[in-house]
Amino acid sequence: MHVPQSVNYKQVNKMMIKEFSLVSDWISSSFPQLMELEQDQKDLLTRNFYLKFYVLECGFIACQKGHNRVFFLPNGNYINCQNLESYFTDPEERQSLSPEDAARMFGGSCSSHRRNVTSPMLNEKVDRFEFLALAVLVLFDTGLDGQSDNCMDMCLKIRRTVQREMLQYYSSQENDEFSIRMGNLLSILPNLQKSTDKMCMDIEMTHLFNCYSPGEAFLNKCMGKN
């Protein structure tokens, strides 16, 4: 039985590189519509999706656990947001910033995730169907730089289908306030974007300062920073 433990940034980076491959395989097997797209468009959607899905999934785990005092990770471990110095601890090499300074400079992502994503998800008690519906809406995003017309049309079609299925889901539950709930859930998406943007900015800052950087493998694979 796995015992959850607090992890540092290097452990999280290794986990996320592995998770990226797993998520990519899940996308390919779950959405045959992607076979219609050119490889560059599939890559565009996958890279745009991954970090947002990572944050969204951690929010859903918080819903299952019933709290967001820590940032839960897909592998069962967690980031201790109450003690970010432990996250920025590097037992292998000395960094130019102390863990305390790194927590102050790069630690804004944790509070952003809690404020913009995990707390709203907890307030709504997001269930598995809703989590997966939000995930599909995140995957089939529109208005992306470099997105082709064919890709855009497919994404719009799938997004409309998902929203219809959400309405049917709420109708089956005889929820009189389903329109309010659906609106509250959809409002999580722009906040998820905001939270992920903050995370990307913090990651890029660590790379710029060459301090607690996730490394080239992470940047290339998960963020497309070739």
Taking the domains of the chain in order of start, what are their residue ranges?
Answer: 9-223
Tell me the pLDDT tens digit for each residue of 15-38.
Answer: 999 999 999 999 999 999 999 999
**What confidence score (pLDDT) does residue 106 get?**
83
Range of weakest confidence among 71-80, 93-102, 128-137, 159-168:
93-102
Tell me: pLDDT of 226 over 60: no
User: Rounded to whole angstroms, how far apart are CA atoms 121 and 58?
Assistant: 10
Q: What architecture is domain 9-223?
A: Orthogonal Bundle (1.10)
Share of the chain above pLDDT 70, in %: 99
Tell me the pLDDT tens digit for each residue of 141-151.
Answer: 999 999 999 99
**What confidence score (pLDDT) does residue 15 get?**
94
**What confidence score (pLDDT) does residue 119 get?**
96
Which residue shows structure tokens 């999934």?
Answer: 57
Tell me the pLDDT tens digit for each residue of 72-128.
Answer: 999 999 999 989 999 999 888 888 889 999 999 888 899 999 999 999 999 999 999
